[in-house]
C-alpha cells in the first residue's frame, strides 16, 4: 500500500485507512477543524480522509485578501492528487465554499472524482442572518474596490447549539483563528468566491457524479435555495438531506451526527458500486438438438 502524505499546511490533517478516500474542504475563512468530527466518523468506518488547509487560509487577513479562488482550487487539487496515489476511489466534499470547490473538482477531474459530499453549499449569501446591506456587495465589480469591505462574523456564527456556539465565541474572542477561523473575511475573498461560483455554475451540467447534499432548513448564511438549485441542475443522482435543527455550520452543530453518519453510508455505497464484479463461470447443459 502506498503511504499517504498529509497535505501541506500547519492546520491540515489526515487519517490513513483503506483504499476508499474522502477529500474534505473547509469554508471561506475557516479551518480544517470544522470538518474534524465528520472526518473522524469516516475514519472509524475504514475510510482514508484528507482535510487540507486551503491556500491563503493561514489566519492572516492580508494573506487571504491577496489570494484568489484559483489558489484555493490549486491547493485542493494538490490534495486530491496525493489522495489518488493512495486510494482507488475518491469522494470530494466540503462545507459552504468548500462544497463549491468540491463541485469544481468534480467538473474538472471527472476521472478522479467518484462522488461528492456537499454540506450547506453556498452559491448565494441569502440566509436569514445575512444583513440586507451585505447583499449590495453584488454591485461591486472590481476586486480592488471589494477589498475596502470586510464581512465580520456575527451571532449566531452559523451554529444553533448554544454549547457549541459558546465554544466558537470563546475562540473568536481569544483571537485563536486556528479553531474558529477568521473573525472577518476580506471583501476581496468574497469577490473571489463569486468568481468561483460563476465558474461552477457554467460547468454544473457537466457534473454527473452522485452527490449527497446536506442543508439546514434554517440556514442563517445560505438559504435552502442554494441546494435546491443544485438538486435541479446537477446531472447525476442527488441524495438530499434537509436538517431541521441546525444552522449553517452543519458539521459542528446539533445534527453533526446525522451529517457524519449519512456521509459514511454514502461513501461506502459509492465504493460498493465501483467494486469490480467477480467473473463467474456457470456450467449450462447443452440444448437438445
Mean pLDDT of the chain: 90
pLDDT (average), residues 220-234: 97
Q: pLDDT at position 131, please?
A: 84
pLDDT in tens, 75-110: 999 999 999 999 999 999 999 999 999 999 999 999
Nearest to 59 by CA among 92, 99, 32, 98: 32
Query: What is residue 182's predicted lDDT score, i.e. its pLDDT?
Result: 66
Q: How confident is the model at residue 178 (pLDDT cuts 50, 70, 90)?
A: low
What's the pLDDT score for residue 284? 44
Residue 52 pLDDT class (50, 70, 90 cuts): very high
Whole-angstrom Cα distance, residue 264 to residue 139?
40
pLDDT score, position 184: 80
Comparing CA positions, the residue from 135, 142, 93, 117 lying closest to residue 221 is 135
pLDDT on residue 75:
97
Mean pLDDT, residues 202-223 taken together:
97
Q: With 0.75 as the threshold, say if the pTM is over it.
A: yes
- How many Å apart are CA 10 and CA 2, to the nearest integer? 23
Fold of 13-273: Rossmann fold (3.40.50)
pLDDT, tens digit, 9 for 90 and up, residues 64-75: 988 999 999 999
Domain boundaries, the chain: 13-273
**Percentage of the chain lying above the pLDDT 90 cut:** 70
In whole angstroms, what is the distance from residue 21 CA to residue 14 CA? 10
Amino acid at each position: 500500500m502506498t503511504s499517504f502524505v498529509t497535505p501541506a499546511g500547519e492546520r491540515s490533517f489526515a487519517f490513513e485507512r483503506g483504499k476508499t478516500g474522502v477529500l474534505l474542504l473547509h469554508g471561506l475563512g475557516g479551518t480544517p477543524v470544522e470538518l474534524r468530527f465528520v472526518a473522524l466518523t469516516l475514519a472509524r468506518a475504514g475510510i482514508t480522509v484528507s482535510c487540507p488547509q486551503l491556500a491563503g487560509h493561514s489566519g492572516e487577513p492580508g494573506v487571504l485578501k491577496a489570494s484568489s479562488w484559483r489558489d484555493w482550487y490549486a491547493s485542493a487539487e494538490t490534495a486530491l492528487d496525493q489522495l489518488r496515489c493512495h486510494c482507488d476511489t475518491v469522494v470530494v466534499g466540503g462545507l459552504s465554499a468548500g462544497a463549491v470547490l468540491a463541485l469544481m473538482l468534480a467538473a474538472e477531474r471527472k476521472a478522479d472524482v467518484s462522488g461528492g459530499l456537499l454540506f450547506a453549499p453556498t452559491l448565494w449569501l441569502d440566509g436569514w442572518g445575512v444583513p440586507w446591506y451585505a447583499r449590495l456587495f453584488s454591485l461591486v465589480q472590481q476586486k480592488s474596490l471589494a477589498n475596502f469591505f470586510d464581512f465580520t462574523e456575527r451571532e449566531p456564527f452559523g451554529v444553533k447549539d448554544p454549547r457549541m456556539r459558546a465554544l466558537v465565541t470563546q475562540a473568536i474572542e481569544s483571537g485563536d483563528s486556528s479553531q474558529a477561523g477568521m473573525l472577518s473575511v476580506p471583501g476581496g475573498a468574497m469577490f473571489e468566491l463569486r468568481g468561483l461560483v460563476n465558474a461552477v455554475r457554467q460547468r454544473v451540467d457537466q457534473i454527473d457524479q452522485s452527490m449527497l447534499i446536506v442543508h439546514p432548513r434554517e440556514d442563517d448564511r445560505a438559504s435552502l435555495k442554494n441546494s435546491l438549485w443544485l438538486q435541479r441542475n446537477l446531472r447525476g443522482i442527488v441524495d438530499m438531506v434537509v436538517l431541521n435543527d441546525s444552522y449553517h455550520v452543519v458539521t459542528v452543530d446539533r445534527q453533526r451526527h446525522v451529517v457524519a453518519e449519512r456521509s459514511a453510508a454514502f461513501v461506502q455505497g459509492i465504493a460498493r458500486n465501483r467494486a469490480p464484479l467477480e467473473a463467474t463461470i456457470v456450467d449450462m447443459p447443452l440444448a437438445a438438438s
